[in-house]
Homo-oligomer: A and B are copies of this chain.
């Protein structure tokens, strides 16, 4: 499978929900497979908080494949021999699209990163930017939009904001509006980041990115990890295993779960930017599919795509009932026959959308083949 990574630059302003504009801006995206002549084999993948446009395949010498490689590829459920798959890095993320790390000025004469001057972007803004890119690429209609978590929010937003865009929309492990519980986890993350003196109130040195030791961002990641798992999955993965070399009565002796959180936490600042993290969790916090409508019901009434909501049974970040609510609300709407709800039987937690793909991939295969 060939991986094509491209950056598209836009000089027209992106009008944001906040009333602010972003101008100019870049979008980096990746494609796999070939667009057919009738252009009816296009599948859009939307990524999650720490995801990127690199959702499948492996670059030369890359140790780890794209984040949904177990789902997307030649002969896989999202078959790149059949489909043309495209995934765009969202505005605000640190993998190449315009973000708080980007140069604020159109010309290269003055080099100053946005940092806190970057406007708050919303999920709707992210989707709008992608839509503009698709227009530029001559893509006006797609077979499907599929994404999990923050990617699922984008999928829902595509469904409501662009009713004629996708034949099928599959939001996974997400919510129509972020609840206090999720905001609370993000609050711990945000406070941990801004309190860290090495963050220097947002004026940390970008050059240190690779060798970054932003401890606040590490703690933020640990807080996130709790919400991505579930008590059951932690129990079966780690139980009460204690690190062999640590003493049980040492104050800083560690359980394996602690070593796991440390490892993932302290690695995080080496590949993710703290300002981008703040902006993306802000976008997640203020996500509300009903904004601009009188009610969530009015928003759902807009949908003309076939919507397949996939919830995960023991998702501790987005409770399945949040997605079921969308389904329930739709029951007395004219478009009710378009809206489906499926709850995956997994106790892994939120991250099952990444690591237990086999639990819902048959369902996706069915949807795509019908």
Q: In the complex, A197→B218 CA distance in Å? A: 15
Q: In the complex, A234→B183 CA distance in Å? A: 10
Contacts of A188 in B (CB 8 A): 188, 219, 222-223, 226, 261
> Do B116 and A251 touch (CB < 8 A)?
yes
Q: In the complex, A210→B339 CA distance in Å? A: 56
A40 at the interface (CB under 8 A from B): no
> Do A191 and B179 touch (CB < 8 A)?
no
Known: A184-B225, A184-B261, A219-B191. A250 touches B120 (CB 8 A): yes
Which residues of A67-90 are within 8 A (CB) of B? none
Contacts of A240 in B (CB 8 A): 177-180, 288
Question: In the complex, what's the smallest C-beta–C-beta distance from A304 to chain B, in angstroms?
Answer: 27
Interface size band for A: 35 or more
Bits for A24-61, please: 1 = Cβ < 8 Å to B, else 0: 00000000000000000000000000000000000000
> Do B18 and A180 touch (CB < 8 A)?
no
Q: In the complex, A179→B218 CA distance in Å? A: 22
A238 at the interface (CB under 8 A from B): yes
Known: A192-B192, A192-B219, A219-B219. A282 touches B234 (CB 8 A): no
A231 at the interface (CB under 8 A from B): yes
Cross-chain contact of A184 among B239, B257, B282 (Cβ < 8 A)? B257
Which of A116, A234, A288: most chain B CB closer than 10 A?
A234
Known: A192-B219, A251-B116, A288-B240. A180 touches B282 (CB 8 A): no
Contacts of A17 in B (CB 8 A): 249
Bits for A159-198, please: 1 = Cβ < 8 Å to B, else 0: 0000000000000000001111101110110011001110
Which of A177, A216, A219: most chain B CB closer than 10 A?
A219
Question: In the complex, what's the smallest C-beta–C-beta distance from A243 to chain B, in angstroms?
Answer: 12
Known: A195-B196, A240-B179. A187 touches B258 (CB 8 A): yes
Known: A187-B258, A226-B185. A216 touches B235 (CB 8 A): no
Which of A179, A188, A215: most chain B CB closer than 10 A?
A188
A66 at the interface (CB under 8 A from B): no
> Do A257 and B218 touch (CB < 8 A)?
no
14 more CB-based (< 8 A) A-B contacts, given A180-B235, A180-B240? A20-B249, A179-B240, A180-B255, A183-B255, A183-B258, A184-B226, A184-B257, A187-B222, A187-B258, A187-B262, A188-B219, A191-B215, A195-B216, A251-B282
Q: Could you list some 14 contacts between A and B, CB below 8 A?
A: A18-B249, A120-B251, A179-B239, A180-B234, A180-B255, A181-B226, A183-B257, A184-B234, A184-B257, A188-B219, A188-B223, A191-B265, A195-B219, A251-B279
